[in-house]
Amino acid sequence: MNNGSDVARHSREYGDFDLIYPVIARRSGGLSLGVNLFPGAKCCNFDCPYCEVLPFEGGAAFDPERLESQMDRYFQNNRDGLNESDSGRRLPLRDISLSGNGEPTLSPWLGAALEICSRMRRRYAFARDAELVIITNSTGFLDHEVAELLRAWQKEAGLRLWAKLDAGMQDWFERISGSDYDLRQICAAIADFARDAPMPITIQTMLCALDGDAPGPGEALAYADRINAMLERGALIWGIDFYTVARPCRSEKAKPLPADSIRAFADIVGSRLAKPLRLKGFDQRGQIALVQANAND
């Protein structure tokens, strides 16, 4: 595996596969098999400065039959877990994650990809405990049809939703997302989805410096207020993951924050929340610090 055990490596190229890529993922806690819905060109409605995917065009288009063929071949060759290049250890598969070169909820093939991934989990016993995950920037919740598709797959296959929320204030949101979406609308859409979802979602939050500016106490308080508003609307939230830049990204403006800054931000959020949630912080090296346990733990 060209990614080894280094969380700083996250290439979407793996052998002769173009639709799947194994990585060591911080938030998964081990081996994650990524599914790339956009092999031919980057496709996203955000332009985050910390994004690891540079704009490109020219690859092959996504094809469901090719995805099934590649996953089948990959699983046949790795029934006992993937071999780490550095240590020779065999790693269990933690999850199958739909992400890749863009926002997965924008893909017309999302439903087909979920069906194939679910079928592969059923076909191979060693993959049955792997979670099925979508990492989303949360704009898909604004679309009723997309939201219903995601809820259906939560019921069908226990689909995990890792929903992005990178800011509490509109101005910081626009800087870190590179978009002019209304943060209030996105937060409301997250809350409405999570209120009616058959299982809780996990919030994912990038903490980084932009042009030397870092999210401070005021941003942390505003962020906590956003989460509290979601909880008041009945949103089912399992927990929040705070992480920082760990790999080369699109803009030199984005820089990682030290572990102490991540913990300080998370501590402020935790102290403000109306309901205890499981909070975790991930530093640049992928180290985990549990800041607060879930109320149900």
For residue range 259-280, list pLDDT tens digits in order. 999 999 999 999 999 999 999 9
What number is the average pLDDT over the span 27-46? Answer: 88
| DSSP secondary structure, 183-196, as one string | HHHHHHHHHHHHHH
Strand partners, 17: 14
What pLDDT, on a 0 to 100 scale, did the predictor assign at position 14?
59
232 and 192 Cβ atoms separated by less than 8 Å: no
Q: Between 8 and 282, whose confidence is greater?
A: 282
The fourth-level CATH superfamily of domain 163-297 is Aldolase class I (3.20.20.70)
Residue 46: Cβ-neighbour burial (10 angstroms; 0-12, 13-18, 19+): middle
In whole angstroms, what is the distance from residue 4 CA to residue 88 CA?
10
What number is the average pLDDT over the span 70-88? Answer: 71
In whole angstroms, what is the distance from residue 33 CA to residue 120 CA?
12
Indicate the domain borders of the chain. 1-136, 163-297
What pLDDT, on a 0 to 100 scale, did the predictor assign at position 295?
53
pTM: 0.89
Q: In the structure, what pLDDT confidence band is assigned to residue 11 with cuts at 50, 70 and 90?
A: very low
Element (H, E) at 280: strand 278-282
pLDDT digits (tens, 9 = 90+) for 164-209: 999 999 999 999 999 999 999 999 999 999 999 999 999 999 999 9
What number is the average pLDDT over the span 239-248? Answer: 93
In whole angstroms, what is the distance from residue 218 CA to residue 197 CA?
31
What pLDDT, on a 0 to 100 scale, did the predictor assign at position 10?
42
On the question of pLDDT at 226 being above 90, the answer is yes
In whole angstroms, what is the distance from residue 266 CA to residue 237 CA?
16
